[in-house]
Structure 1
């Protein structure tokens, strides 16, 4: 058996309709910075990799002309009726403050801040300007 190594999630890829707007929004909303931008001519695919300067987590934004919206569930319960990825979760220090700030930046309020089913955790949901569900969690309590 091979030696066990610690595993971490490297990044999440999010296909978007407006790459420039999505990049600006995620930078403003979560403090990401651009790590790199590339174009794969063979697929007409543009990629922007964002990285958080403190946490190191990465968000890959992808755009290809001709793309069409996929799952855009309005609520978390609706999202789990379709198999596949339903939302992205962000661990934040102040769920209430982040929720209000994201809504002021154009996010749609989906589920106001409240206790999570997980004991000691506070949570909320918003949808980014393109309708992708984002969960906010505070596990530091």
Structure 2
């Protein structure tokens, strides 16, 4: 079997706000909006020019889930932990971190060396507390 990641789905409490933030902060474009017939589930599929997708999902009565303050806390709960975006250089970890924070992202882990030699990483959160990692693996 040959498989590749197509998208990550994120449940959000406000679809309009989430779409606007992900479009602005991550440079995503809307592929399509949808509603699942017979349910209250609505969503929007967003795509980055590099090919990855983020599917934002909304149900009005959805219950809050994990809102981790750090990647370590997220790893202490089974299930979705974070979305990770790779950048080309270690300097881009810092510049993208600053850009996302300026766009309203929450600071969860400031840029620092990654556990592997030569790498750099940082964590932010979207306006709803979902973790987003920035990583450089190739310096």
TM-score (norm 2): 0.93
Which of 60, 65, 88 is the matching residue for 2:83?
88
Equivalent residue number for residue 11 of structure 1: 7
Q: In 2, Cα distance between the equivalents of 1:126 and 1:135?
A: 6
Q: In 2, Cα distance between the equivalents of 1:31 and 1:92?
A: 14
Equivalent residue number for residue 67 of structure 1: 62
Equivalent residue number for residue 129 of structure 2: 131
After superposing on structure 2, the runs of 4+ consecutive aligned residues of structure 1 that deviate more than 4 Å are none
Task: Find the structure with the greater CA-based Rg.
Answer: 1
Equivalent residue number for residue 26 of structure 1: 22
Q: In 2, Cα distance between the equivalents of 1:110 and 1:12?
A: 20
Structure 1 gap segments, 5+ residues each? none
Structure 2 gap segments, 5+ residues each? none
**Secondary structure of 2:122's partner?**
strand
Equivalent residue number for residue 36 of structure 2: 40
Q: In 2, Cα distance between the equivalents of 1:118 and 1:46?
A: 39
Equivalent residue number for residue 118 of structure 2: 120
Equivalent residue number for residue 57 of structure 1: 52
Q: CA RMSD in A?
A: 1.1
CA shift, 1:12, in A, is: 0.5
TM-score (norm 1): 0.92
**Secondary structure of 1:37's partner?**
strand
CA shift, 1:20, in A, is: 0.8
CA shift, 1:109, in A, is: 0.8
Q: In 1, Cα distance between the equivalents of 2:108 and 2:43?
A: 28
Q: In 2, Cα distance between the equivalents of 1:16 and 1:122?
A: 28
